Amino acid sequence: MATPARRLQSLVCIVLIILFLGLKEAIGEGAVKENARLIGERNEVGRMYCCHDYHIGKCVPGTWDDLNCHQLCLRSQCQKGGFCKILIDRKPPNHFCHCTCIV
């Protein structure tokens, strides 16, 4: 027969597991809400708007990533294309594809 202390330990472990699973989901949701204004998900790249920054994964300025970013913006009706940039005032991920503004 289990002692009351052992039952309490089991109950605490179960509650902690449930809390950690919920915390993981909450942290993910908060990050999405915080960056929703600037970040487009990879599966939403089908329509990128000009004059906006998009997180498309790796986007390192001066590499082939610039060409990839440029092509993505051109396909989204931004006639000037785009380029990779790093926002040093932001926490990682801070590499963005910027679709150039149409003036």
Model pLDDT for residues 46-97, shown as the tens digit of each residue: 567 889 888 888 899 999 999 999 999 998 888 899 999 998 888 888 899 9
- Angstrom CA distances, 90 to 7, 35, 85, 95, 102, stand at 46, 11, 12, 9, 26
Answer yes or no: do 32 and 57 share one domain.
no
**Number of domains present in the structure of the chain:** 2
Answer yes or no: do 66 and 88 share one domain.
yes
Judged against a pLDDT cut of 50, whether residue 35 lies above it is answered with no
Answer yes or no: do 64 and 49 share one domain.
yes
Judged against a pLDDT cut of 50, whether residue 6 lies above it is answered with yes
Tally of CB atoms within 10 A around 52: 19
Answer yes or no: do 28 and 65 share one domain.
no
Answer yes or no: do 98 and 48 share one domain.
yes
Domain range holding 2?
Answer: 1-36
User: pTM, whole model, 2 decimals?
Assistant: 0.52
Burial class for 100, CB neighbours closer than 10 Å (0-12, 13-18, 19+): middle
